[in-house]
Structure 1
Amino acid sequence: MRTSDAQTLIVEKNPNPVADSERDALLLNPVFGRVFTDHMVTIEYSRERGWQNGKVRPHAALQLDLATLVLHYAQEIFEGMKAYRLPEGGSTLFRPGANARRFRNSAERLAMAPLPEELFIESVRALVRIDQKWIPGGDGAALYIRPFMIATEAVLGMKPSAEYLYCVVACPVGSYFKVGSPSVTLWISDQYTRAAPGGTGDAKCGGNYAASLAAQAEATREGCDQVVFLDAVERRWVEELGGMNVFFVFDDGSIQTPPLTGTILPGITRDSLIVLARDMGLAVREEPYAIDQWQEDALSGRLREAFACGTAAVVTSIGNVKGRQYNFTVGDGGAGPVTGRLKDALLDIQNGRVEDRHGWLDRL
């Protein structure tokens, strides 16, 4: 597959798809990331031949040599996105071009072969088209899509791989956090950091998430839902959660979120919410916010709401924040009105319930 043939994918239908009755039962209450659709996409890359052998094929396990580079030096990147069922029938993707651009940027940061953006988009479209019946209905439900790329050259040498495998898998999902919970509780990590200047904080690579797991485990032991990281230099500035961006809502109606300075993932949900907030006439600042200031503003009442956002969690209110030196509640500990308005506005667009004035939907 040359770049000029980038949108040509061979389709091999699964001869033994999940029975309709079994699939319908699975879609009633999908557990996040546990059940997968009938098909996947694979495209191979080699330095000599470029991108080739693109296929939509039955979902199956991969077979890798024990010397495969990704297993030793972690050359791996991924994306997270969703497909939604539309009220009038059919389905749609949400801002797939933004995911394609971020995937390319992540590849360049990890010294991997960049996948052409048009090939990324078409691979996701092709998988959703063939597995549309797997998109669940209901409030908050969607088909979660995971494009990823790994280094596949089999050699124990510390170098960029000469071979890569790009894949796309998908799974039906419901709510990321516990249904019925109005907000989440955060644990402030004072021992671990997520990313440092000059590192890979703005790339969506597995190493960033692996580095956050010890801190997340600590948060769980402390009875919290998620960990929030501070900057690696001063250990003062709020950066992001283990897998989500964070926003703050103040008593004057303004909104603030940490700036993208290279250590924070440029979330597509984050960017979308900034646009929607400004559509509502709200002032949005991308400025640093200190953890001590967060506590002071919450205690004084200046800070009325805080929320986390991401593709998986969508928009989730932050009710309580804990740490070895911190313990405070944001607002009344529940979901705030501005958070609710923004969440509803985003979900209405994603699910095709209102006019898409920004051209974010890619209808299939």
Structure 2
Amino acid sequence: MGQKAFANSPAATSASLDAECKRERELTKPTPIVLSIGALPPKINSVLIQLFADDFQPRYTHSHFQVSLNGTRIPSLEYAINALDQSGPIGKLISVQLLPEYWSLLKSGNANLLIDDPTTHVPDGYAVDFVRILVNPHNFKYTVSLTASVLDADKHTPITGATVTAALQSAPTDAKGKCQLSGLPAGLVIATAAAPGYDEGSVPVDLVSGQTGNAEIQLHRHDEGTAALEKQVAETGSATVYGIHFDTDSAKLRPDSMPALNAVLGLLNNHPASQWMIAGHTDNQGNAAHNQALSENRAASVIAWLKAHGVAANRLGAQGFGASRPVADNSTESGRALNRRVEVTAR
């Protein structure tokens, strides 16, 4: 299945150009890639999404793609697509794990995969030659191995305990910031590193069957000042906040949340005409229903604080996702730490 699309049109500087921009957007905006996957097996052990991607250039054009499956954004796919720097006819096969919390999206037997950039207004075209979703895939015929090094981007020092993921494999980094992954499907291997206190980082490594490659992944410290939140929203439509802390198993805000809360307040005050959704997320520890209620109550606590500090109630909405929308693997402590977060999204 192939698709060519333009993710967005150039930003306009006048009313007429803005109208032209919107018309072009309507003519060129991507449409979902529709897959029929049929009935799922009674037991699922793993799910892998493979795409033959061509001409994605987010690193060069500074676009930022959002990738959704049946209407739900999939962070692992977004990390992979936004790590690409292709030009010309150099299509490559990429393989990305779908985390267990997203498997329920496939229950209908159909999958609508949408790749789009609705936020940056950068005209980055792309092509997807085919997509397939592999449920409980067997051992791959053509495999490669990867040695990964994870470094602090500013200090150039190794990061111990980061989790590196590629396809269905993951491993923690050792004291030297290194780990090795094997049994990966050949092609353009996307290695993604995640560690608490850092923004995720992804690096593509092109490997043919039998090869062992190397990936150096530099992670930047996560910044939650107002300017950093502004940048996140401009690029992705939302900002992730880890500095809003609550008492254990409670929606009561802790005093050490004040810097992050004030940064969010600054963001909202910089856009007085905008409306915002405040979303709470938990890890998967404990009862799912309890986590759902906890995430909703925590989002409501943040909104109550913002209202008490002058933000109009009609500009705010609360949403809780419990553990259903992870950005990292809940099977590791570092992954669970990354999944406990608040997200602020422009509506």
Instruction: Give the TM-score, by structure 1 length.
Output: 0.25
Higher RCO by CA contacts (8 Å cutoff, separation 6 or greater): 1
Instruction: Give the TM-score, by structure 2 length.
Output: 0.26
Higher share in strand: 2
